Amino acid sequence: MTKEQTQEIKARLRSPETAIPPMTDPLGKHWRQPRRETISLDDTHALMDASSFAQLADYSSTHPSGVYPGKMWKRHDGLFDRRCKTEDRVWLLCWFGECDDPTKCSNNYRQILVA
C-alpha cells in the first residue's frame, strides 16, 4: 500500500473511540491488545500498523473466553473453510461491544488493512 493510499483511507476513517469501547472489566487486566488509539475504523475496515496487528491474539478457529466490552482479537476468516479459496481469506479485527442489555455483548468485526 502506498503512502498516498494510506492517507486516503485515513481520511475516510474515524477514531476507534466511537466504535470500540474501553476495556474496563477487571478480567481485562491480563488480556494483551493494542491501544484503541492505534486503530482507525470505518464501516468495513480497520487500519493499523504491523505492531498493532502483532499484538492482537489470534482466534481464527474459536472465540476468546471472558466476554466483556472492548476486548479485541484477530481472526483469519476462511482459514478453516475448505471451500474458501486462499485468495479470498482475509484478516478481521474482532471485538466485543456494548449492548443495551448490560449482561450481553455484541460481536463486531472489520477487515484489517496493515499500513
What percentage of the chain carries pLDDT values higher than 70? 83
Q: Is 2's pLDDT higher than 90?
A: no
| Distance, CA of 34 to CA of 77 (rounded, Å) | 20
State pLDDT tens for residues 68-108.
Answer: 999 999 999 876 677 767 777 799 999 999 999 989 999 99
Largest CA distance in the chain: 43
Nearest-CA neighbor of 40 among 17, 68, 72? 17
- The length of the chain in residues reads 115
What rounded mean pLDDT belongs to the chain? 86
Lowest average pLDDT, out of 15-19, 44-48, 79-83, goes to 15-19
Give CA torsion, residues 92, 97, 104, 28, to 10 deg. Answer: 90
pTM: 0.81
pLDDT tens for 3-14 read 776 666 666 655
Secondary structure letter of residue 66 according to DSSP = S
Assign 74 to helix, strand or coil. Answer: strand
DSSP β-bridge partners for residue 108: 95
CB atoms within 10 A of CB 84: 13
In this structure, what C-alpha cell is assigned to residue 68? 466483556
Confidence (pLDDT) at 57: 97
Lookup result for grid cell 489470534: 58
